Amino acid sequence: MNRVSQRVCLWLAPLALLTAPPALAAEAASGPSTPSPVPATWMAQESIVETVLFFETESMAVRIYRSGANLFMNLYNKTTDVVEAQGIPAQLAPSTRDQTVYKADQGEAERIARINVMGETELEIMAPNGTVVLKESGFNAVVGVPAGSIDFRGNNFAPGTPALVLSAEAARLRSAPRLGSAIIGAAPRRAVVEVIDRVGNSEDGFIWYQVTYQGTTGWVRGDLLQPT
C-alpha cells in the first residue's frame, strides 16, 4: 500500500466507529441493557454519522456524509497530502433526474460532487467569479450503508434521488419505516416519487425510503423502488 492510499485509509478509518449502531455504542459505554421494543434503524438517524457518497478523482478523495439531518463535505488532496476541506456544510442541489448533486460553498470556492444512476462521479471546484478551478471524473465510488451484522434487503441508493415505483400494483406509503405501521397513502406502479431519507430496519431487514408523492410523505420498502 503506497503512502497516499495509507493516508486515505486513515482519513476514512473513524467511519467504522462513527457508523456503529447506537445499540452497540450504548452497550460499550454502560454494559448490556434490556432491548428496546422499538425496532433499531441504522441509516440516516440523528445519532448516526453516515457516509452518503465517497469517491476518488485523479487528485482528490471526496466524502459526503450526513450527521443528523445535515450534510457535510470533506476533500483530501492526494497530491499535496492535505485535507483541503473538512466538515463544510453541503446540500442537495436541484438536478436532472439521472444524477444526484451535492454542493458545498465555503466562500472562497464552490465544490460540487455529482453521481449519476450509472455510478459515474465527478468533482467540480469553482472560484467565486465562476472560473472552473478543477473538474475531474471520479472512480471507486461508494454509496454507503453503515457496516453491520445485517444485510438489508432492497435497492440501495442515496436520498435526493427520484425513484420509480416497481410494485405490482401500488406501493404503500407508511407512517413509519417498518412493516405493520399505518398506511397513509399509495403511489401507483411506474410513478416517480421524490426520495427524502433512508433507513435500515434491523427488525424486518428492509431498507426503507421516506418519499413524497402528490403531497403525501411516507415510508416505502426499498425493494419496491428503483432510482431513475
pLDDT beyond 50 at 46: no
Q: List domains and CATH numbers for the chain.
A: 3-142 (2.40.128), 163-227 (2.30.30.40)
Q: What is the pLDDT of residues 165-190, one digit of tens each?
A: 988 889 999 998 889 999 999 999 99
Residue range 94-120: mean pLDDT, rounded: 82
Burial class of residue 117 (count of CB atoms within 10 Å of its CB; 0-12, 13-18, 19+): middle
Residue range 191-195: mean pLDDT, rounded: 92
The DSSP string of 3-65 is HHHHHHHHHHTTHHHHTS-HHHHHHHHH---PPPSSPPB-TT-TT-EEEEEEEE-SSEEEEEE
Q: What is the mean pLDDT of the chain?
A: 76
pLDDT of residue 74: 93
Cβ atoms 143, 156 nearer than 8 A: yes
